Structure 1
Amino acid sequence: MSESRRNLVYADKEYTKEEVLRILNPVVAEWFNSKFPDLTPPQKLALIPIHEGNNVLVSSPTGTGKTLTAFLIAISELIEMGLRGELGDSVYVLYVSPLRALNNDIYRNLEEPIREIRELAEKKGIKLPEIRHVVRTGDTTNTQRQNMLRKPPHILITTPETLAIILVAPKFREKLKTVRWVIVDEVHSLAENKRGAHLTLSLERLRELTERDFVRIGLSATINPLEDVARFLAGYDDDGTPRNCVIVDARYAKRKSLKVVSPVSDLIYTPSQEVTQRMYETLYDIVKRHRTTLIFTNTRSGTERVVFHLKQLARKRKDLPEDSIAAHHSSLSRGVRLDVEEKLKRGELKAIVSSTSLELGIDIGYIDVVAQVGSPKSVTRCLQRIGRSGHRLHETSKGIMVCVDRDDLVEVAVMVREAYRHHLDKIHIPRNALDVLAQHIVGMAIEKKMRVEDAFRIIRRSYSFHELSYDDFVNVLKYLSGGYSELESHKVYGKIWFDPVEGVFGRRGKYARVIYSLNVGTIPDEVSVKVYTTEKKYVGNIEEEFLERLMPGDRFVLGGKVYEFVKSDGMIAYVKPAFEQKPTIPAWFSEMLPLSYDLAVKISEFRGQMFKWIESGKPLEEIKKYLKRECRVDDNSAEAIIGYFREMYYFLRSLGIREYPSDKTILVEKWRDENGRIHQVFHTLFGRRTNDALSHALAYLASRKTGTNIGIALHDNGFALIYPRGVEPAVSLSELKPEEVEDLLKKAIFNTELMRRRFRHVAVRGLMILRNYKGYEISVQRQQVNALTLIKVVKRWMDFPVLKETYREILEDYMDINHAREVLESIRDGKIRIVETPLLDTPSPFAYNIVLEGLSDIVLMEDKRALIAHFHQQVMQRVSRFLQEKSV
Structure 2
Amino acid sequence: MRGIPKPPRPGPPKRAPIAPAEVMSPGDWFARRGWVPFPFQQEAWAAYRAGASGLIHASTGTGKTYAAFFGELLEAVEEPLAVTPPPVRVLWVTPLRALSADTALALEAPLRPLGLNWDIGTRTADTPTAARARQQKRLPTVLVTTPESLSLLLTYPDAREKFADLRCVVCDEWHELFGSKRGVLTELALARLRTFRPHLRTWGLSATLGNLDDALAALIGTTNTGRVIRGHVPKPVAIDAVLPPRVERFPWAGHLGLSLLPQVVAAVEGGKSALLFTNTRGQCEQWYQALLGAKPEWAGQVALHHGSLDRKARDWVEDGLRAGTLRCVVCTSTLDLGVDFAPVDRVLQVGSPKGVARLLQRAGRSGHRPGETSRVTCVPTHALELVEVSAARAAAAEGRIECRFSLEKPLDVLAQHCVGSALAGGFRADELLAEVRTARAYRGLARDEWAWVLDFVTRGGEALKAYPDYRRVVVRDGVYAVEDARIARRHRLSVGVITSEAAVLVRFLRGPKLGALDESFAARLKPGDRFTFAGRTLEFVKLYEMTAWVRLSKKQADTKLRWSGARLPLSGELSAAVRAKLGEGARGQFADAEMRAIRPVLEVQARWSRVPMADEVLAERLRTRDGYHLFLYPFEGRLVHEGVAALLAYRLSLRRPQTFALACNDYGFELASPDPLDLGAGALKELLAPAGLAGDVLASLNAAELAKRQFREVARVAGLVNPGLPNAGRTAKQLQASSGLFYDVFREHDPSNLLLWQARREVLDRQFEVTRLRAALDRVAASRIVVTEPPRPTPFAFPLLVERLRESVSSEALADRVRKMAAALERKAEPE
TM-score for the superposition, normalised by structure 2: 0.83
- Is 2:743 the counterpart of 1:745? no
* Per-residue deviation, residues 129-166 of structure 1 (Å, max 9, x unmatched): x2122211223344323322434311111110111111
Mapping 1:650-729, distance limit 5 Å: 650-652=607-609, 660-672=611-623, 674=625, 676-702=626-652, 710-723=660-673, 725=674
**Matched position secondary structure for 1:357:** helix
CA contact (8 A) 1:264 1:275 kept: no
Tell me the CA shift for residue 833 of structure 1.
Answer: 3.1
Mapping 1:502-651, distance limit 5 Å: 505-507=480-482, 509-527=484-502, 543=518, 590-611=565-586, 613-614=587-588, 623-624=589-590, 626=591, 628=592, 633=593, 637-651=594-608
The amino acid of 1:169's aligned partner reads Y
Work out the CA distance in 2 between the residues paired with 1:752 and 1:729.
32
Per mean C-alpha deviation after superposition, the further-off stretch among 770-779 and 47-56 is: 770-779
The amino acid of 1:193's aligned partner reads S
CA contact (8 A) 1:650 1:879 kept: no
Q: CA RMSD in A?
A: 3.6
CA contact (8 A) 1:798 1:804 kept: no
Work out the CA distance in 2 between the residues paired with 1:527 and 1:342.
29
Query: Equivalent residue for 2:539?
Result: none
**Matched position secondary structure for 2:371:** coil
CA contact (8 A) 1:370 1:388 kept: yes
The amino acid of 1:61's aligned partner reads S
Work out the CA distance in 2 between the residues paired with 1:406 and 1:368.
26
Mapping 1:256-655, distance limit 5 Å: 256-268=237-249, 278-315=259-296, 320-482=297-459, 484-487=461-464, 493-497=470-474, 505-507=480-482, 509-527=484-502, 543=518, 590-611=565-586, 613-614=587-588, 623-624=589-590, 626=591, 628=592, 633=593, 637-652=594-609
Work out the CA distance in 2 between the residues paired with 1:804 and 1:473.
15
CA contact (8 A) 1:265 1:639 kept: no
Work out the CA distance in 2 between the residues paired with 1:268 and 1:296.
26
Tell me the CA shift for residue 190 of structure 1.
Answer: 0.8
**Matched position secondary structure for 1:90:** coil
Structure 1 residue runs of 5 or longer lacking an equivalent are 1-24, 119-127, 238-242, 531-540, 548-556, 561-570, 572-584, 615-622, 654-659
Tell me the CA shift for residue 193 of structure 1.
Answer: 1.8
Query: Equivalent residue for 2:513?
Result: none
**Matched position secondary structure for 1:772:** coil
CA contact (8 A) 1:262 1:404 kept: no
Structure 1 residues 722, 269: CA separation in 2 closer, same or farther (over 3 Å shift)?
closer
**Matched position secondary structure for 2:390:** helix
Query: Equivalent residue for 1:835?
Result: 786
CA contact (8 A) 1:681 1:851 kept: no
CA contact (8 A) 1:586 1:856 kept: no
CA contact (8 A) 2:604 2:829 kept: no
Query: Equivalent residue for 1:534?
Result: none
Work out the CA distance in 1 between the residues paired with 2:692 and 2:74.
58
CA contact (8 A) 1:497 1:507 kept: yes
Query: Equivalent residue for 1:254?
Result: 235
The amino acid of 1:110's aligned partner reads L
Query: Equivalent residue for 1:71?
Result: 69
For this pair of structures, how many residues does the alignment match? 763
Work out the CA distance in 1 between the residues paired with 2:467 and 2:738.
8
CA contact (8 A) 1:460 1:466 kept: yes
Tell me the CA shift for residue 546 of structure 1.
Answer: 9.8
Work out the CA distance in 2 between the residues paired with 1:398 and 1:329.
22
The amino acid of 1:357's aligned partner reads T
Query: Equivalent residue for 1:618?
Result: none
- Is 2:761 the counterpart of 1:808? yes
Work out the CA distance in 1 between the residues paired with 2:262 and 2:726.
55
The amino acid of 2:133's aligned partner reads Q
Work out the CA distance in 2 between the residues paired with 1:766 and 1:478.
13
Query: Equivalent residue for 2:508?
Result: none
**Matched position secondary structure for 1:371:** strand
Tell me the CA shift for residue 479 of structure 1.
Answer: 2.3
Query: Equivalent residue for 2:130?
Result: 143
* Per-residue deviation, residues 226-245 of structure 1 (Å, max 9, x unmatched): 112111211211xxxxx322
Tell me the CA shift for residue 749 of structure 1.
Answer: 4.7
2:204 aligns with one of 218, 221, 225? 218
Query: Equivalent residue for 1:765?
Result: 717
What fraction of aligned residue pairs are identical, expressed as a percent?
28
**Matched position secondary structure for 1:666:** strand
* Per-residue deviation, residues 482-537 of structure 1 (Å, max 9, x unmatched): 263433567861323469xx98754464444323211110111433699xxxxxxx
2:170 aligns with one of 183, 198, 201? 183
Query: Equivalent residue for 1:576?
Result: none
Per mean C-alpha deviation after superposition, the further-off stretch among 442-451 and 809-818 is: 442-451
Query: Equivalent residue for 2:512?
Result: none
- Is 2:33 the counterpart of 1:35? yes
Structure 1 residues 587, 105: CA separation in 2 closer, same or farther (over 3 Å shift)?
closer
Work out the CA distance in 2 between the residues paired with 1:701 and 1:498.
51
**Matched position secondary structure for 2:235:** coil
* Per-residue deviation, residues 808-847 of structure 1 (Å, max 9, x unmatched): 22212443101211232344xx412333345x66322212
Tell me the CA shift for residue 183 of structure 1.
Answer: 0.8
Structure 1 residues 100, 468: CA separation in 2 closer, same or farther (over 3 Å shift)?
same
Tell me the CA shift for residue 685 of structure 1.
Answer: 0.9
- Is 2:102 the counterpart of 1:105? yes
CA contact (8 A) 1:268 1:865 kept: no
* Per-residue deviation, residues 370-410 of structure 1 (Å, max 9, x unmatched): 11122101111111000110111121111212224222111
CA contact (8 A) 2:40 2:67 kept: yes
Structure 1 residues 788, 37: CA separation in 2 closer, same or farther (over 3 Å shift)?
closer
Query: Equivalent residue for 1:61?
Result: 59
CA contact (8 A) 1:414 1:602 kept: yes
Work out the CA distance in 2 between the residues paired with 1:30 and 1:139.
36
Work out the CA distance in 2 between the residues paired with 1:271 and 1:773.
46
Query: Equivalent residue for 1:795?
Result: 747
Work out the CA distance in 2 between the residues paired with 1:328 and 1:826.
41
Structure 1 residues 691, 365: CA separation in 2 closer, same or farther (over 3 Å shift)?
same
TM-score for the superposition, normalised by structure 1: 0.78
Query: Equivalent residue for 2:801?
Result: 851
Tell me the CA shift for residue 607 of structure 1.
Answer: 2.1
The amino acid of 1:54's aligned partner reads A
CA contact (8 A) 2:241 2:379 kept: yes
Query: Equivalent residue for 1:244?
Result: 225
Work out the CA distance in 2 between the residues paired with 1:544 and 1:803.
27
1:206 aligns with one of 179, 193, 211? 193
Mapping 1:731-742, distance limit 5 Å: 732=684, 734-742=686-694
Work out the CA distance in 1 between the residues paired with 2:531 and 2:26.
61
Query: Equivalent residue for 1:580?
Result: none
**Matched position secondary structure for 1:667:** strand
Tell me the CA shift for residue 72 of structure 1.
Answer: 1.5
Work out the CA distance in 2 between the residues paired with 1:274 and 1:146.
53
Structure 1 residues 721, 434: CA separation in 2 closer, same or farther (over 3 Å shift)?
farther
Tell me the CA shift for residue 859 of structure 1.
Answer: 9.1
Work out the CA distance in 2 between the residues paired with 1:715 and 1:542.
27
Tell me the CA shift for residue 286 of structure 1.
Answer: 0.4
Query: Equivalent residue for 2:4?
Result: none
